Amino acid sequence: MLRTLAIAGRHMAARSRVHALRRMSSGPPKSAMSFPCIDRLESRQRDLLAGPEPTYDKVVTGYSTYTHHAPFVCDHMGVLHGFDIAYESWGTLNADKSNAILVHTGLSASSHAHSHEKNMNPGWWEKFIGPGRALDTDKFFVVCTNVLGGCYGSTGPASVDPQTGERFATTFPLLTVNDIVRAQFHLLDHLGIQKLHASVGASMGGMQSLCAAALHPERVGRLVSISACARSHPYSIALRFAQRQALMSDPNFNRGFYYDSVQPHVGMKLARAIATVTYRSGPEWELRFGRRRRAPELPPALCPDFLIETYLDHQSERFCLQYDANSLLYVSKAMDMFDVSRSVTERLARQRESVVLNEPVAPVCLNEHEQMDAGEASSVETDEEILEDLVSGVRNVLQPALVLGVQSDILFPVKQQREIADILRKAGNERVTYYELDAMYGHDTFLIDVVNVGAAIKGHLENEHLIK
């Protein structure tokens, strides 16, 4: 017993000497790294528990609303029992209503493309619209809508379902770009506009402008598609998938039913940060931020430290309560599914025609065990067959077309705009103009480069020699 106690005492003394040596060699007690960015997120979450309400329904004022009262069957067989489209206009519609230009927006933009007396705040395309500008309101009547599925006045997941009296949330039907365009043409019918002077759009708006000309070739006089594509490609699909996954992983997302609770703020912020990386270019950020740090005199931090990190943090925080999370999911998915190919357009039309109104249709998706693997999927069509299908899809798009690409765009690389110009020409369109801009602003060039983008658009819209 005494021997055991002696051994235990020697072990305790040895451990004490080791601890003492460690304390001597390690210096002052170590403190944990601070995480002010996480502190701010937690503080914001606490604020959201008590308010404020999300601000996306208050961002835009001064728009008009068209209400479509008849049932609207969507391409993937969902049904809206009527819908609203928010729109704004500039200029004057002439007597025969032939000078209208429909401006299509990108993913998250509102109808407020330009300021006016009902809303004097600058619009998202402020410098491109107005007297003497690219879209000259002394000559043209310019209309811009908030897309179906959006959250700035048009019917979307945040809207109240008239059938239930509750917000749609993720009971809202899946949409396609074709659905968005078809809803816009119901607005044009309401306005008495039988034929547009031009359909103009960039990014997802460029998808819409091409789609409008393909679905309604007799109603579109000219086409302008900027930084867009004829079909979404895997790289951009992957980037938008990552955004949706970040958003849906937020515990507050609650499968889309968050309107009466805490908004998925963190998921939205992460999604927007990913998106912002794709909107600009490396060369611009080299020039604008370089490797400069916010506080170079301080030790490196895991929270925003480099200026590029503080920029992403600020931009994503600013966005996350100005746009509805479900709208981001639905509209971005519509972008992913965009394909102007004839076979796709006809398949979607058949799906719509198969719907029997007043019978609910549950969303259909492949079981994970039924999904094609990459090798099987890639063998479905050859490159030649895909090209032929695309050409057939735009076979009636014979009006003057302007296609713009930007060399620094990583989200919609110029190869995709060349593809648009190529399929239009192969379809027999002899009035296709393709420009490739050497700008450093990446995908957002269409918002920034007023001189080059604006001049190309203005020339195309006003060139009378383009019409045979």
Cα distance between residue 91 and residue 101, in whole Å: 10
Distance, in Å, from the CA atom of 125 to the CA atom of 159, rounded to the nearest integer, reads 26
Q: Report residue 230 as tokens.
A: 């004829």
Residues 6+ apart with CB under 8 A from 29: none
Give tens-digit pLDDT for 448-462. Answer: 999 999 999 999 999
What pLDDT shows up at residue 26? 52
Output the DSSP codes for 73-138. E-TTS-EEEEEEEEEEEES---TTS--EEEEEP-TT--S-SS-BTTB-SPPTTGGGEETTSSEETT
Active site residue 409: yes
Q: How confident is the model at residue 18, as a pLDDT?
A: 43
Return the minimum-mean-pLDDT range out of 111-115, 221-225, 464-468: 464-468
Determine the straight-line distance between the first and last CA of the chain, rounded to whole angstroms. Answer: 112
| 27 pLDDT tier (thresholds 50, 70, 90) | low
Q: What's the mean per-residue pLDDT of the chain?
A: 89
- Work out the percent of the chain whose per-residue pLDDT is above 90: 78
Better pLDDT: 25 or 108: 108
> Cα–Cα distances in Å, from 468 out to 99, 211, 461, 462?
17, 23, 14, 14
Contact status, residue 177 vs residue 365, Cβ threshold 8 Å:
no
47 is a catalytic site residue: no
CB 310 within 8 A of CB 134: no
Q: Which is it for the CA torsion 233, 235, 239, 245, positive or negative?
A: positive
β-bridge mates for residue 89, sequence order: 143
Kindly name the residue from 68, 76, 265, 443 that is annotated as catalytic.
443
Residue 48 or residue 4, greater confidence: 48
Helix crossing, 307-319 with 265-279: angle to 10°? 120
Contact by Cβ (8 Å): 412, 203: yes
**Catalytic residue among 75, 409, 444, 449, which?**
409
Residue 439: C-alpha distances to residues 170, 242, 445 (Å): 39, 27, 7
* Measured CA distances, 87 to 116, 144, 188, 319, 382 (Å): 13, 6, 11, 22, 42
Q: What is the DSSP letter of 339?
A: B
Q: List, for residues 366-412, the tens digit of each pLDDT value.
A: 344 444 444 444 456 899 999 999 999 999 999 999 999 999 999 99
Does 311 score more than 80 pLDDT? Answer: yes
Listed residue (420, 415, 404) closest to 459, CA to CA: 404
Where residue 336 falls among pLDDT bands split at 50, 70, 90?
very high
What is the pLDDT, as a whole number, of residue 369?
42
Please tell me which residue, 361 or 326, carries the higher pLDDT value. 326
Per-residue pLDDT tens for 255-297? 999 999 999 999 999 999 999 999 999 999 999 999 999 999 9
Mean pLDDT over 34-60 rounds to 67
pLDDT, tens digit, for every residue of 154-184? Answer: 999 999 999 999 999 999 999 999 999 999 9
Instruction: Write phi, then psi, for 334 (nearest 5 degrees).
Output: -60, -40
Catalytic one of 111, 154, 199, 203: 203
Active site residue 203: yes
pLDDT higher than 70, residue 421 = yes
pLDDT at 7 over 50: no
Question: pLDDT per residue over 344-379, tens digit each?
Answer: 999 999 999 999 766 655 554 434 444 444 444 445
